[in-house]
Structure 1
Amino acid sequence: MAQFETSRRSLLKAGTAAAAAAIAPAAAHASENDKSVKFDGEYDVIVVGSGFAGMACAYKVAKAGLKVLMIEKMGVFGGNSAICGGNMACPVNPVQKAQGIKDSEELFIADCLKDGLGINHTELLDVLYRRGNDTVKFVTDCGAEFVPNKMLFEGGHSVPRSYEIKAGSGSGYIVPMYETLSKMKNCVMKTRTKFDDFVLDKDGRVTGVVCREGYRFNRKLASDDVENKTGHRRVYKARKGVMLAAGGFSRDIWFRQVQDPRVVPSTDSTNQPGATAGVLLKALEIGATPLQISWLQFLPYCNPHEDGFGVTVNFTNHACMDLGMVVNKKTGKRFMDEHAGRKIKTDAELKVIGKDKNYPIAICDDSIVKAINPSFVKAPLAAKTVFVANTLEEIADHFGIKKDAFLAEVKRFNQFVKEGEDKDFHRILKFNNGLTISKPPFYGVEVAPKIHHTMGGLLINPEAQVISSKTHKPIPGLYAGGEITGGVHGASRLGTVAVLDALTFGMVAGENLAKA
Structure 2
Amino acid sequence: MSGIETARSYDLIVLGSGAGGLAAAVTAAHKGLRVLMLEKEAHFGGASAISGGTIWVPGNEQAVAAGLDSATTTARTYLRNIIGDGANTELVDAFLERGPEALAFLEKSTELKFKVRPFSPDYHMEIAGSSDGGRALEVLEYDGSNLGERFRELRKPPEGMLLFGGMMVNRVDVQHFLNMRRSLASFMHCMKLIARYAKDRLSYDRGTRLVVGNALVARLVRSAFDLGVELKTKIRTARLIEENGAICGVVLEDGQEIRSTCGVVLATGGFGASSGAERWRDHTDRSHRSMSPAGNVGDGIELASVVGGVVGDDLVSNFYWAPVSVRVHADGREELFPHLVTDRAKPGIIAVNKLGRRFVNEADSYHRFVMAMQANQAANSPCFLICDQTALSAYGMGLARPAPVSNLELIQSGYLVEADTVSGLAAKIGVDADALSATVENFNASAVKGTDPEFNRGGTSYNVSMGDPDHKPNACLAPLEKGPFYAIRIFTGDLGSARGLRTDASARVLDGENVPIAGLYAVGNDMNSMMNGTYPGPGITLGPALTFGYLAALDAAKKTTRN
Q: Check whether TM > 0.5.
A: yes
Hey, what does 2:145 align to over in structure 1? none
Decide which of 336, 348, 359 is 2:372's aligned counterpart. Answer: 348
Query: 1-side partners of 2:96 and 2:274: how far apart?
Result: 32
TM-score normalised over the length of structure 2 = 0.67
Q: Which moved more, 1:447-456 or 1:320-329?
A: 320-329
Question: Contact 2:351/2:384 (CA < 8 Å) preserved in 1?
Answer: yes
Gap runs ≥5 in structure 1: 1-37, 213-231
Cα 1:416–1:335 change in 2 (3 A) is farther
What residue identity is the alignment partner of 1:488? M
Decide which of 420, 429, 437 is 2:477's aligned counterpart. Answer: 437
1:493 equivalent in alignment to 2:514: no
> What does 1:112-511 correspond to in 2, within 5 Å?
112-113=79-80, 116=83, 118-138=85-105, 140=107, 142-144=110-112, 146=114, 149-153=117-121, 155-156=123-124, 158-160=130-132, 161-165=135-139, 166=170, 167-185=210-228, 187-202=229-244, 204-212=245-253, 232-254=254-276, 256-260=277-281, 267-292=288-313, 295-297=317-319, 299-305=321-327, 312-313=337-338, 316-321=340-345, 326-328=350-352, 333-338=357-362, 340=364, 344-350=368-374, 354=378, 358-361=382-385, 384=410, 402-413=436-447, 415=449, 424-425=455-456, 428-430=459-461, 432=464, 434-438=474-478, 445-470=488-513, 472-494=514-536, 495-511=538-554
Query: 2-side partners of 1:407 and 1:40: how far apart?
Result: 73
CA drift of 1:274 comes to 0.5
Cα 1:65–1:133 change in 2 (3 A) is same
Count of aligned positions: 451
What residue identity is the alignment partner of 2:309? A
**Percent same amino acid at aligned positions?**
20
Q: Look up the SS of the partner of 1:179 in the other structure.
A: helix
Q: Which moved more, 1:333-342 or 1:265-274?
A: 333-342
Q: Deviations over 1:250-275 (max 9, x none)?
A: 11113x23445866666421111101
Query: 1-side partners of 2:60 and 2:347: how far apart?
Result: 23
Gap runs ≥5 in structure 2: 140-169, 171-209
Query: 2-side partners of 1:39 and 1:100: how far apart?
Result: 52
Cα 1:381–1:76 change in 2 (3 A) is farther
Q: Deviations over 1:66-90 (max 9, x none)?
A: 2111111111111111112222222
Question: Contact 1:293/1:456 (CA < 8 Å) preserved in 2?
Answer: no
Question: Contact 2:15/2:38 (CA < 8 Å) preserved in 1?
Answer: yes
Superposed CA RMSD in Å reads 4.3
CA drift of 1:407 comes to 3.9
Decide which of 84, 90, 102 is 2:57's aligned counterpart. Answer: 90
Q: Look up the SS of the partner of 1:458 in the other structure.
A: coil
Question: Contact 1:58/1:70 (CA < 8 Å) preserved in 2?
Answer: yes
Cα 1:39–1:130 change in 2 (3 A) is same
Query: 1-side partners of 2:118 and 2:417: how far apart?
Result: 28
Query: 2-side partners of 1:318 and 1:110: how far apart?
Result: 30
